[in-house]
Amino acid sequence: MTEDRALADAIRRHEERLARDPESLAFAQLADLYRKAGRTGDAIGLCREGLRRWPHYTTARLILAKTLLAEGQHDAALAELAAILQTSPKDVQCHRLAAEIHRRAGRLDAAVAHLEKAVGLDPGDRESSALLSLLRADAVIPGEAVGLTRVLGDDTFATLSFGTLCLEQGLADEAALVLTRVVRRSPDNAEARARLEAALRARSRRRG
């Protein structure tokens, strides 16, 4: 409740600020607050209106991309990210978000390409590095026993049911590795993509 009240107060302050100066770049901050409050329609409208005046304001365009992603408008979000990367190819946040969108759509090679760029630009980005190690076509789990690695590398076990079993047993890394192979083989398999996302979330929670 306290967090909700703080968010509502922040929105009110930014709305007042923007009302005093409609040409202010504060529209982006307000749009991001709308996004966090679940007011995605307001966030999208405000970003689009502001970007008509400030088309090169990459922060606002990134907020728009995040909001479009939250609305499930993946292609529209990618278009905004492409616009940013055209002028700012070293924008790490854009590469991370583009990788996420491509991954959710089952385009794992495209996701890997963006993750490689993100890690190249920010070698300290451990989360992107870890994702990259899982999503590559030749991925293996580092440090695991030879026997388990051999099992996971066998196409016989690269199935949705085995990946789900690993996930249910709390083996998030193993599940992600198996499900990545399933998605690579069948990128249009919505259930496999959803299970892969669940495995990655479980893995992230475990690592804190």
Global pTM value: 0.85
143 pLDDT band, cuts 50/70/90, is low
3 pLDDT band, cuts 50/70/90, is confident
> How does pLDDT run across 17-37, given as a tens digit for each residue?
999 998 889 999 999 999 999
Name the H helices within the chain. Answer: 2-20, 27-36, 40-53, 58-70, 74-87, 92-104, 108-121, 126-135, 146-152, 160-168, 172-185, 190-207
Instruction: Give the list of residues 6+ apart from residue 106 with CB closer than 8 angstroms, or none.
Output: 183, 187, 188, 189, 192, 193
Tokens representing residue 27 in the block = 């529209």
Average pLDDT for the chain: 90
183 pLDDT band, cuts 50/70/90, is very high
Q: Are 97 and 74 in contact (CB under 8 A)?
A: no
> When comparing pLDDT for 174 and 140, which is higher?
174
Is residue 146 over pLDDT 50? no
> How does pLDDT run across 51-77, given as a tens digit for each residue?
999 999 999 999 999 999 999 999 999
What is the longest distance spanned by two Cα atoms in the chain? 66
206 pLDDT band, cuts 50/70/90, is confident
Tokens representing residue 38 in the block = 């679940």
> When comparing pLDDT for 158 and 206, which is higher?
158
Q: Which residues of 81-107 are buried (b: 16+ CB within 10 A; e: fewer)?
A: bebbbeeeeebbbbbbbbbbbbbbbbe
Q: In 3-state terms, what secondary structure has residue 141?
A: coil
Which domains are present in the chain? 1-76 (1.25.40.10), 89-139 (no CATH), 140-208 (1.25.40)
> How does pLDDT run across 34-48, given as a tens digit for each residue?
999 999 999 999 999
Q: In 3-state terms, what secondary structure has residue 20?
A: helix
| Segment 139-144 mean pLDDT | 58
Q: Are 140 and 177 in contact (CB under 8 A)?
A: yes
Is residue 137 over pLDDT 90? no
Q: Distances from the Cα of 98 to the Cαs of 33, 35, 69, 158, in angstroms?
A: 22, 18, 10, 26
pLDDT of residue 145: 45
> How many residues does the structure list for the chain?
208
